[in-house]
Amino acid sequence: MEKKVQTIEEATIMFAGDSGDGSQTIGAKMADASAIAGNDISTFPDYPAEIRAPAGTLPGISGFQVTFSSHEIQTPGDACDVLVAMNPAALKVNLHRLKPNGIILANSDNFKPRNLRLAGYARNPLEDDSLTKFQVFPVGLSRLTREALKDTGLTPNEMDLCKNFFALGMIFWLYNRPMDYTIKWIQNRYAKIPKFVEANIIALKAGSAYGEATEQFTSSYQVKPVKFPPGKYRTVTGALATSLGLIAASQKAGIPLVYGSYPITPATEILHELAKHKNFNVITMQMEDEIAAIGVAIGAAYSGALGVTGSSGPGIALKAEATNLALMTELPIVICNIQRAGPSTGMPTKTEQADLLQVMFGRNGESPLPVIAANSPVDCFDTAYEACRIAIKYMTPVIFMSDLFISFGAEPWRIPKVADLPDIEVKFQTSIEGFEPYVRHPETLSRPWAIPGTPGLEHRIGGLEKEHLTGNVSYDPENHEQMVRLRAEKIARIAKEIPPTSILGESSGKLLVLTWGGTYGTVRTAIERKQNAGKSVSHVHLRYLNPFPGDLGDILRQFDKVLVPELNLGQLLKLIRAEYLVDAVGFNKVQGQSFYIYEVEAKIDEMLN
């Protein structure tokens, strides 16, 4: 039977199963294959918090969602077109993500009584009428994989490890994805275990052949390439882009990068990536605790390197006292906060953006610091680079904000030319004449960066209040107020460098939606849809959170209503209302998940009506 090929604009697929089922692996390979096919892609892996929950249980389900498109996209998608469910628990956890009439490709071999009970099903959903609004394709993945591999000499348990690639082969056929890159990846990945090279390739091809041969599928789909601007591209996660941004900044500045870190989800991926790049004069140090980790960064900055540390909310709390030491000594370090759901240990593998007030005010005394936030995996490169530039130019700690949704997500990145990156000029103090540890640059109010051991430039720094110019310990009331105001003014002057705020839509009107961080893609997509429907709604997204852009107040006052969507209970909202006395309205979600596009669209309609 000759099968039709339908052309569609985009598709969203969720791969889900137990942690050992390989859903993350085949999801990533589907994303890579789609990128090689020329599509725009956006991905999001959904990890369980438990290292290895009991097989077949709801808490142990691991998922990977990928959207690929023939036009530019901003988000890994809302509802899925296809759900690949390796067991009943994977179906139950992710069924709400599937579109009506969406495809369920289920490993029917795992829908046994024990697994059904573990997932909370009284009856087999593949056999009752509970899934009638979906296209259900029960496939004996385990049985078919064993049949395909019967001549390889593998044990039954070893054959079962390859069933994820059988499923991927089916999806490759369904969406006409190329196989060559994935085959090369298998050959490299399992080079030391030749039997799995052969087995996984056979399973991949067998899955594709099954899709072609079975009468279950009457058609396949084609998503044409998107027209990207010319350039060299690669796929990056937010963690990888952050790491590359830090490396690029240190190279541009001509100084070593020293990264001190204590392992914590989701920030650990930055440590793993930076550790691979010793050839770029990168030094990574896994420390015994969070305080030691930021101590490494401070010591590195004191000695003339770019000091960086990274963590998530719990670790940022532990670093607070040392962060103030870096503020008081006015040393250039970057603190990466990759947010996750809290408070306390919270939900380590779920996203949230509830650390904004913490990084703004979570230190004793008057202690303002620059805070900037990335909006997507790709944007992590530019934002991390900018954090380093500000830290060095203004001699101050800078807080770089990301979140789990951004850090684990992936999308195509157009690799920039080194010559196009902003200059980062490092001026170490070398002259004895006129040197004082706390003399100020007339424009930036930054103090000189004097390397210890430079003859004649001996000086003292520490956490106690400094005397203006000399840096001597001072308890003088007037001097204390002067230094507090100088440090605050130094941060405020950064606003002069912030470019004019970009507005998507009209510069005035009924409704402005104001966002920051990882909600960007979802909100931008919702707003574009509403604008195409003729609605009066505009969008401003903030990278600079402290200080705010200088033109932000004027922009806010040009709209009848201001909506602030956040994955918290209204933290940016509080800052906006306090700073600009604007009666903004919050739209808040704290479920460990990002907004869905339809949720934002519904809220926009509510505000406009």
Domain ranges of the chain: 4-222, 234-420, 509-608
* Residue 386 pLDDT > 80: yes
* Residue 53 pLDDT > 90: no
Distance CA 137, CA 217 (A): 9
* Residue 121 pLDDT > 70: yes
Mean of the pLDDT values across residues 458-469?
Answer: 94
Task: Give the fold, CATH level 3, of 509-608.
Answer: Rossmann fold (3.40.50)
**Which percentage of the chain shows pLDDT scores above 70?**
100
Give per-residue pLDDT as tens, 241-296: 999 999 999 999 999 999 999 999 999 999 999 999 999 999 999 999 999 999 99
pLDDT value of position 412: 95
pLDDT value of position 1: 63
DSSP string, 131-190: TTTSEEEEE-HHHHHHHHTTTS---HHHHHTTHHHHHHHHHHHHTT---HHHHHHHHHHT
Decide whether 234-420 matches 509-608 in CATH topology. Answer: yes
- pTM, two decimals, is 0.95
Among residues 48, 57, 41, the alpha carbon closest in space to that of 411 is found at: 41
Give per-residue pLDDT as tens, 464-480: 999 999 999 999 999 99
* Residue 52 pLDDT > 80: no
pLDDT value of position 49: 79
**Collapsed DSSP state (helix, strand, coil) of residue 411:** strand
Mean of the pLDDT values across residues 353-365?
Answer: 97
Give per-residue pLDDT as tens, 80-93: 999 999 999 999 99
Task: Give the fold, CATH level 3, of 4-222.
Answer: Pyruvate-ferredoxin Oxidoreductase; domain 3 (3.40.920)
Virtual torsion, Cα 234, 239, 245, 251, nearest 10 deg? -100
Q: Token digits for 187?
A: 């050959």
Q: Token digits for 530?
A: 């509403």
Distance CA 372, CA 242 (A): 13
* Residue 51 pLDDT > 90: no
Phi, psi at 409, each rounded to 5°: -70, 165
Q: Which uninterrupted H or E stretch holds 13?
A: strand 10-18
The residue written with tokens 């100088």 in the block is 486
Give per-residue pLDDT as tens, 388-402: 999 999 999 999 999
Mean of the pLDDT values across residues 382-386?
Answer: 98
Phi, psi at 148, each rounded to 5°: -65, -30
Cα atoms in the 13 Å half-sphere on the side-chain side of 602: 6
Quote the CATH superfamily of domain 234-420. Answer: Thiamin diphosphate (ThDP)-binding fold, Pyr/PP domains (3.40.50.970)
Among residues 161, 160, 163, 197, the alpha carbon closest in space to that of 182 is found at: 197
pLDDT value of position 94: 96
Distance CA 232, CA 414 (A): 6
Mean of the pLDDT values across residues 149-163?
Answer: 96
The mean pLDDT value of the chain amounts to 96
Instruction: Give the strand pairing for 61-69 and 544-546.
Output: unpaired
Distance CA 190, CA 192 (A): 5
Give per-residue pLDDT as tens, 551-574: 999 999 999 999 999 999 999 999
What is the SS3 string spanning 515-543? EEHHHHHHHHHHHHHHHHCCCCEEEEEEC
CA distances from 305 to 268, 295, 315, 581, 591 (A): 21, 13, 23, 41, 40
